[in-house]
Amino acid sequence: MVSATIAQSAPTAIVQVTASGLQSGQTVYLNATFSEHGIASLSAIQGTITIQFKSPASLGAGTYNDSIEISVCYDQACTQQVTNSPQAVSAQYTVTNTAVQLSSLSPSSAVASGAAFTLTVNGTNFTAQSTVLWNGSARTTTFVSATQLTAQITAADIATAGTAQVSVNDLVNGPSNSLPFTISAAQLGLTSISPTNVTAAGPAFMLTVLGTGFSATSVVMWNGAALPTTFIAASELVAAVPAADIAAVGSASIAVHDPNSTVGTTAPQTLTISAASKDAVAFQINPAHSGSVNFASVSFPAGSAWSVDVGGTPSYALIVQGKVIVTMSIGGSSQLIALDQKTGATVWGPVAIGAGSANAAYDSGKVFVISSQIGNAATMEAFDLQTGSQLWSTLLAGQYAFSAAPTAADGLVYTGGAGSGGTLYALDESTGAIVWTQTVQNGDNSTPAVTADGVYVTYPCWTYDFRPATGESIWNNNTGCEGGGGATPVVANQLVYSPNTVSGYNGTTYNAETGALGGNYSADSPPAFTTSIGYFLQSGTLRGITLSNSTVKWSFAGDGMLAGAPIAVNQYVFIGSQSGNLYAFDGTVGPPATWTVKLPAAVGANVSVLQFSGLAAGDGLLVVPAGTKVTAYLLSANP
């Protein structure tokens, strides 16, 4: 007698056959016939008959009786049988239902390359010792009741089309039957592109395309022409866009074509090619922190356009859509205020941000502010630029030391945090939802530099480049040391200036796309760049360095107290001093200063931790925080 449950594999049984009265060395032959109620096959070898029963699942629960007639013969044709041959043997095979029985799955199907999800398994006799198996491998399981379990199914589990078998293994009641889970092929579709907006006459870049049903034969199309395309996953492609395709202001139609898809070509999405921004939207003017902006013309005023005492220590300014936005530190807390670009009058605010320091960034009609007090998670908030009303607030959990300002670009706002290792956060600008996070070394002080196709952060000996839309690592570099801290990188002229030394802003240059090593540089603060000259404050002296050959073109020590980060407007470079002087001169030829201004107070030198300070230029204005005052100078009436 043999038995098995429906969930088990088909059993076997052995029958030993002996024959008496044979002469020494005499050969005999076994022959067996059988009924096929429960038996699938027999094999007879040297006195042993192996019975292979049918699959329990194919039979169903029940008792299956079979008769086997065994003959021992002197010849292969079995015309001459030994004494007492043949003999009949009975075989009883019992199939029972498993104690753990699955009845249904919810959902019972998914589309390939979809997101991770929770699977509900319904059945009977589940216990706290029950584990859901996906193709025989355990998945994280939650016991709900004796009739229901839930399991966490990963995106990798449904990456490709096919069928998965779902079953339950219970340490008390044994294995269950299995149920099929269908993974259907995803239809070719285009969901989003990144970036959605690039600057005309900018460099070549990598376009990230997200969607469904992609394959190795999928190609990204730019205005109907194929781009060099790399297949990353069924939901992601990356395409190389040459600089020639974005030489002029306009737009491009982006689609995906796959000759093996029934769809053929997806519906397109639009990529906008815009003129270079005149706004100041982040620390050091732009998301790449290159510290430069170009106006139609520049002239130097005899005096300030306005100067406002904000009652606390102001940060660098955002200059957008007729407003100057600053955060200010007052008595251990922070506030946010919007001033009129023309008059300095308060448009809205001050808005209380909370305890600790704060800094801001701007994109697409929203002001993003991060505030933090050491020992606590930071809060990222979004405010409407026109009204100052709060749009959302998100707690950045997982870390307790935040010293990096935010950077916002193309629908996402980024910042970093430290405490337990380091974390880089990317939040949706519209909702505040955390889109992705990445683990980094340390996590302090490095305000992310963002370009069309890269998010860059720098910590001692580490430089990272992540894909903006997904957070995937593009490249990273470790020079071999370790330490706390970090500093803000700068991306200019397709190079990353990474302050990756143990402290300060000295560092290494890398190719922004590939991470290939360039050279080394020295700086007291983030340098500023035009297309041909880099402006580096080095040991208190500002130097103009020709980028083509890395030679010093000129040096300027000023009053011996130069501080903060320089910025460039057209060909002019601006630098402040802790004595309260502000200098400007033509960076192509160097000093003497073309323009010198005495400020209300010393220029802030804090370019490392919340709250950042610094010069800003945008929309024709130069805005300088000094002491408790924000002072604006009109450089161009029609920028």
What pLDDT score was predicted for residue 24?
79
Mean pLDDT of 467-488: 90
Q: Does domain 101-184 have CATH number 3.50.7.10?
A: no
Closest among 526, 535, 538, 468 to 498, alpha carbons compared: 526
Q: Which residue has the higher pLDDT, 185 or 316?
A: 316
The residue that leads in pLDDT, 6 or 357, is: 357
Most confident segment among 69-78, 469-478, 596-605: 469-478
Where is pLDDT greater, at 137 or 115?
137
What pLDDT, on the 0 to 100 scale, is given for residue 19?
Answer: 83
d(Cα 561, Cα 553) in Å, to the nearest integer?
21
Confidence check: pLDDT of 419 > 80: yes
Closest alpha carbon to 372 in 351, 359, 356: 356
Q: Kindly report the number of other CB atoms within 10 A of residue 148's CB atom.
A: 14
pLDDT band at 238 (very low <50, low <70, confident <90, very high): very high
User: Is the pLDDT higher at 181 or at 185?
Assistant: 181
Domain spans, the chain: 2-96, 101-184, 189-274, 292-634
Which residue do the tokens 């796959």 mark?
Answer: 258
Residue 637 burial (10 A CB sphere; 0-12, 13-18, 19+): exposed
pLDDT at 97 over 80: no
Phi then psi for residue 56, to 5 deg, are -55, -40
pLDDT score for 295: 98
Domain 292-634 coded CATH 3.90.650.10 = no
Q: Is the pLDDT reported for residue 186 higher than 90? A: no
Query: Is pLDDT at 200 greater than 90 in this prediction?
Result: yes
Which of 63-77, 78-92, 148-162, 424-438 shows the highest mean pLDDT? 424-438
Q: Which of 6-20, 90-104, 329-343 has the highest mean pLDDT?
A: 329-343
Q: Which two tokens stand for residue 159?
A: 């990456």
pLDDT at 459 (0 to 100): 93
Instruction: Provide the percentage of residues in the chain whose pLDDT is more than 70.
Output: 100
Give Cβ neighbours of residue 137 (< 8 Å, ≥ 6 apart). Answer: none
The percent of residues above 90 in pLDDT, for the chain, comes to 77
Burial of 445 (0-12, 13-18, 19+ CB in 10 A): buried
189-274 topology per CATH: Immunoglobulin-like (2.60.40)
Average pLDDT over residues 539-546: 96
Residue 29's pLDDT band, with cuts at 50, 70 and 90, is confident
Confidence class for position 20, pLDDT limits 50, 70, 90: confident
pLDDT over threshold 90, residue 458: yes
Instruction: Name the residue with higher pLDDT: 76 or 456.
Output: 456
> According to the model, what pLDDT value does residue 484 have?
76
Structure confidence at residue 611 as a pLDDT band (50, 70, 90): confident
Q: What is the pLDDT of residue 61?
A: 82
Q: Examine the pLDDT at 30 and tell me if it is beyond 90.
A: no
What percent of the residues of the chain are helix, what percent strand, and what percent coil, each to the nearest 5?
0, 55, 45
Q: Quick check: 609 pLDDT over 80?
A: no
Q: What is the mean pLDDT of residues 253-275?
A: 96
Confidence (pLDDT) at 175: 87
Q: How confident is the model at residue 482 (pLDDT cuts 50, 70, 90)?
A: confident
Q: What is the mean pLDDT of residues 454-481?
A: 95
Q: Quick one: which of 237, 184, 182 has its CA closest to 214?
A: 237
Structure confidence at residue 451 as a pLDDT band (50, 70, 90):
very high
| CATH number listed for the domain at residues 2-96 | 2.60.40
pTM of the full structure? 0.79
Return mean pLDDT, the chain: 93
The predicted model gives 292-307 an average pLDDT of 97
Q: Comparing 638 with 354, which gets the higher pLDDT?
A: 638
Establish whether domains 101-184 and 292-634 are of one fold: no
Q: Report the candidate in 238, 123, 218 with the shortest Cα–Cα distance to residue 175.
A: 123
pLDDT (0 to 100) of residue 415: 97
Q: Are strands 462-466 and 473-478 parallel, antiparallel or unpaired?
A: antiparallel
What distances in angstroms separate CA 608 from CA 24, 566, 570, 617, one per listed residue? 98, 14, 26, 20
Can you give the pLDDT at residue 111? 86
Q: Is residue 262 helix, strand or coil?
A: coil
Contact call for residues 74 and 28 (beta carbons, < 8 A): yes
Residue 6: the pLDDT is 74
Confidence check: pLDDT of 605 > 80: no
